[in-house]
Structure 1
Amino acid sequence: MTDDDFALSRRTFLDRVLLASAGLGMSTAAPWAARAAEDIPKGQRVRIGVIGTGDRGRTLIQNLNKTRNCTVAALCDTFEPHMAKARAYVPANTPVFTDHRKMLEAREIDAVVIATPLDLHARQTIDALDAGYPVFCEKAMARTIADCSAMVTRARQRGKILQIGHQRLFNPTYLNALKRAQAGEIGPITQIRASWHRNRSWRRQIPPGGTEREINWRLHRDRSAGLMTELATHQLQVANWFMGGLPTRVMGSGSICFWKDGRDVYDQVALIYDYSDGRKVIYTSMLNNARYGCEEQIQGSKGTIEPELGRIYQEVQPGAVPALARMRADVQAGRKNTVPIGGATWFPELPVTTPGDSLGWGEYDETMLQFEGFGEAVRSGKEVPGLLAQAYHASVASLLGEQAIDQGKALAWPTDLVTF
């Protein structure tokens, strides 16, 4: 894919495929898409203050650097080794802070990006909103459903944009897949199977000056829900999106099955989310086998979409059993042949291996695209419709799933949530 092709996809991707999500409150006109693709003078770009410069924070900084309407104007982190690495991606004179409140008070930024451990999201988001700044916060939203609700409520009270990092909402392949699903190409969707499997412990070596809880926060229950918030949140958002609704209840099981190293978050989970009309989302995640990796199988009566692989498959109707077909042909032709009765009467129903069709598109960076959307939302003062609701419900689904596992029973979808 050439640079010109990429510029075209960035300029037009929402105009071409965002109609797919019209029924879910996403903007169908996408008025910011073309403007965000235009070069904006450096002095007019949205000045972003980044809170959290660990691995994810540095990735976001690099994505912000690719945008045409944002620029990183300040960094904040309490851990100097992370800050030192982040400085390599910004101009040498970029202000740095160890206290996010000091960065907010300096008034040298236009908006905030938060990429800190999950348990810090709510407090830092609310501090930034109270200081008058739009906020982009990494997913999941917060460690508790109550904190997720508090973030949405405060954004509404302050009249400020709050966008959560669900980049698949800006992924042209996923948007095209949704458009085709809503057009009926795979028939009514009755089940979605999603998995995110890895084969590594998630435990990181603690650098000089670091602490276990600071570096390995994903492995501590009070700081993270592990697989449910760090991975499942993405795919539960996709599930809600394609189902066109929200779960009615969830049940699940989890365990510390393989990595018995002192962590208190599950290293494998399996859950079933019920939706209306008996539809199901089946989700699994583990940390000791990567064979099936990250995937979603969106299954309808006429076909299957696997957006992570960028493919759509038409349902192949099973053929007749060869022996029965041969006998029928013999009867119709008046032939008399021996009928075998001692041979195999069943053959394994193996996966269909047809190649399917491509969902299109080439190389692109949906994380960069979501920042261009955030930048234009900040510049216009208007959020991209539908994004916050999608993120909020995905976080609620992940945290409710954790509760269902912990309690060992099916839990109904909460009735006291923020409404959109």
Structure 2
Amino acid sequence: MSNPISRRKFIGNISALGLASTLPFMSTFSFASDLSSPSNIVNVGIIGVGSRGKVLLLNIQKIQGIKIIAVCDNYDTNYKRAISLTRNTAKAYTDHRKLLENKDLDAVIIATPLHEHAHITIDALNSGLHVFCEKSMAKTAEDCNAMVSAALRNNKILQIGHQRLFDPMYHKAIEMIQNKQLGSLTQIRAFWHRNRDWRKPVPSPELERKINWRLYEEYSLGLMTELASHHLQVANWVYGAAPISVAGFGSINYWKDGRELFDNVNLVYKYPNGNHLVYDSLISNKHYGMEVQVMGDKGTLEMEKGNYFLEHPPAAPGILQLVNDIEKGIFETVPIGGASWVPETANKVKPTKYHQTQKGLPEPTELQFHSFANHIRENKIDEENLKHGYNSSICAIMGHKAMLENKVIEIPDNLRM
């Protein structure tokens, strides 16, 4: 590994620079500062205005304290769209290096294909700009380390786009876990299922890899970096640690169209305390959608839906309890000559909604930019966000490696923050 960053070195650098260690949720809701003065406006440029970049641009335009003054994309369709969406008020570029020369910028937002993240981020940090980079951080562990090193070396903010860190529903779930409402955690099961080929129409053959970069090894790690990285971040958050090893299988078992990256992945991550994350993703069936199921000996959370299930719900009152007892006696009696076991049936208790979304609050995608702008104004690095972004990226990279090599991959300590 070139330039590995150990946990001790990272924390040492954080301390030496006097950086903030504020929980991202707390900083998210501290944006009621005076935005009327131009000195409080954060000027940003957006590099990469494709499907994700467009979403980010539209969210940023809702925020009073951030102004988009520059856009950049080297694909003509996206370039023209960016100009249109900013109503021709932002300076447009096709080369990110030219954008970085704009002296009015405070920060850049990077939403390019994955293989472009590292070198553009490092160029921006070395230019004295703060950076918001979409997840995953990078395609290799070496590039992830280089990005963190550049942020620390230049004393600049590097925030990674994990919007669940800014979702009140997720924070309520973490609070419940920390308060032992689930009891002792035993396992996390997470999945993300879709049913579409993940392809975009290509106007001419030479643009196939530029437009459909998510399908090719040179540019992406597919399901791991594009989808799994979200739930890997959540699992690390729940367990309060990064995993120590991973094993798994991946295949192209449906979309046999020349793609190089798996359309079906199944992995198990092992954590320091012996707990596991069981993860799978596919793009040929959407019946189960996506979820993060956190299981303890006293309860279960479905974090995407906001559901809470008690493992041992209170007994039903009166006659209902009597009926349940009778039914239990009938169906759990083993008949002579019958099976010597009773099928284990799922707990059918109804869920409780553990969080009610407050009307009028910004969405998590918008909230993460409030936090980014506030950290810029205060010149404080969000240590927690950087650790989450780094660890989830390393998890995705090592999971892909485990599937390619068909073996258990140990994740070394110097690749875990």
Q: TM-score range by the shorter chain?
A: 0.7 to 0.9
Equivalent residue, structure 2, for 1:309: 305
Instruction: Tell me the CA shift for residue 79 of structure 1.
Output: 0.8
Instruction: Tell me the CA shift for residue 61 of structure 1.
Output: 0.3
Question: Any conservation in 2 of the 1:152–1:418 contact (CA below 8 Å)?
Answer: no
The change in CA–CA distance for 1:42 and 1:212 in structure 2 (over 3 A counts) is farther
The runs of 5 or more residues in structure 2 that have no matched partner are 1-20, 316-320
Partner Cα distance (2:412, 2:311) in 1: 36
The change in CA–CA distance for 1:283 and 1:204 in structure 2 (over 3 A counts) is same
Which of 75, 83, 107 does residue 87 from structure 1 map onto?
Answer: 83
Other structure's SS at 2:414 match: coil
Instruction: Tell me the CA shift for residue 41 of structure 1.
Output: 4.7
Instruction: Tell me the CA shift for residue 249 of structure 1.
Output: 0.6
Question: Any conservation in 1 of the 2:222–2:262 contact (CA below 8 Å)?
Answer: yes
Equivalent residue, structure 2, for 1:121: 117
Structure 1 vs Structure 2 CA RMSD? 2.6
Report whether the alignment pairs 1:371 with 2:369.
yes
1:151-173 deviation line (CA, Å, top 9, x unaligned): 00111011111000001001110
Question: Any conservation in 2 of the 1:36–1:68 contact (CA below 8 Å)?
Answer: no
The runs of 5 or more residues in structure 1 that have no matched partner are 1-24, 329-337
1:151-203 deviation line (CA, Å, top 9, x unaligned): 00111011111000001001110011101110110111110000000001111
Question: Any conservation in 2 of the 1:161–1:382 contact (CA below 8 Å)?
Answer: yes
Equivalent residue, structure 2, for 1:265: 261
The change in CA–CA distance for 1:92 and 1:278 in structure 2 (over 3 A counts) is same
Greater Cα shift, 201-210 or 175-184:
201-210
Question: Any conservation in 1 of the 2:35–2:41 contact (CA below 8 Å)?
Answer: no
The change in CA–CA distance for 1:121 and 1:324 in structure 2 (over 3 A counts) is closer
Equivalent residue, structure 2, for 1:388: 386
Equivalent residue, structure 2, for 1:357: 353
Partner Cα distance (2:237, 2:83) in 1: 37
Greater Cα shift, 230-239 or 354-363:
354-363
Question: Any conservation in 1 of the 2:28–2:368 contact (CA below 8 Å)?
Answer: no
Equivalent residue, structure 1, for 2:16: none
Which of 376, 389, 403 does residue 405 from structure 1 map onto?
Answer: 403
Instruction: Tell me the CA shift for residue 361 of structure 1.
Output: 1.8
Partner Cα distance (2:304, 2:188) in 1: 13
Partner Cα distance (2:331, 2:61) in 1: 68
Query: TM-score, length-normalised on structure 2?
Result: 0.86
Question: Any conservation in 2 of the 1:166–1:234 contact (CA below 8 Å)?
Answer: yes
Instruction: Tell me the CA shift for residue 322 of structure 1.
Output: 4.9
Matches within 5 A, 1:61-72: 61-72=57-68
Report whether the alignment pairs 1:134 with 2:124.
no
Aligned residue pair count: 387
Aligned partner letter, 1:280: H
Instruction: Tell me the CA shift for residue 32 of structure 1.
Output: 6.7
Partner Cα distance (2:380, 2:373) in 1: 10
Equivalent residue, structure 2, for 1:21: none
Matches within 5 A, 1:140-219: 140-207=136-203, 211-219=207-215
Equivalent residue, structure 2, for 1:225: 221
Instruction: Tell me the CA shift for residue 244 of structure 1.
Output: 1.1
Question: Any conservation in 2 of the 1:42–1:71 contact (CA below 8 Å)?
Answer: no
The change in CA–CA distance for 1:410 and 1:40 in structure 2 (over 3 A counts) is farther
Partner Cα distance (1:30, 1:310) in 2: 20
Which of 321, 324, 336 does residue 341 from structure 1 map onto?
Answer: 336
Partner Cα distance (2:230, 2:358) in 1: 21
1:287-341 deviation line (CA, Å, top 9, x unaligned): 000111111000011101111001211113699985774799xxxxxxxxx9953
Question: Any conservation in 2 of the 1:36–1:69 contact (CA below 8 Å)?
Answer: no
Aligned partner letter, 1:236: L
Question: Any conservation in 2 of the 1:194–1:284 contact (CA below 8 Å)?
Answer: yes
Identity %: 41
Instruction: Tell me the CA shift for residue 418 of structure 1.
Output: 6.8
Aligned partner letter, 1:141: M
The change in CA–CA distance for 1:234 and 1:36 in structure 2 (over 3 A counts) is farther
The change in CA–CA distance for 1:47 and 1:322 in structure 2 (over 3 A counts) is same
Partner Cα distance (2:220, 2:76) in 1: 23
Question: Any conservation in 1 of the 2:398–2:409 contact (CA below 8 Å)?
Answer: yes
Aligned partner letter, 2:61: N
Partner Cα distance (1:185, 1:66) in 2: 37
Question: Any conservation in 2 of the 1:110–1:134 contact (CA below 8 Å)?
Answer: yes
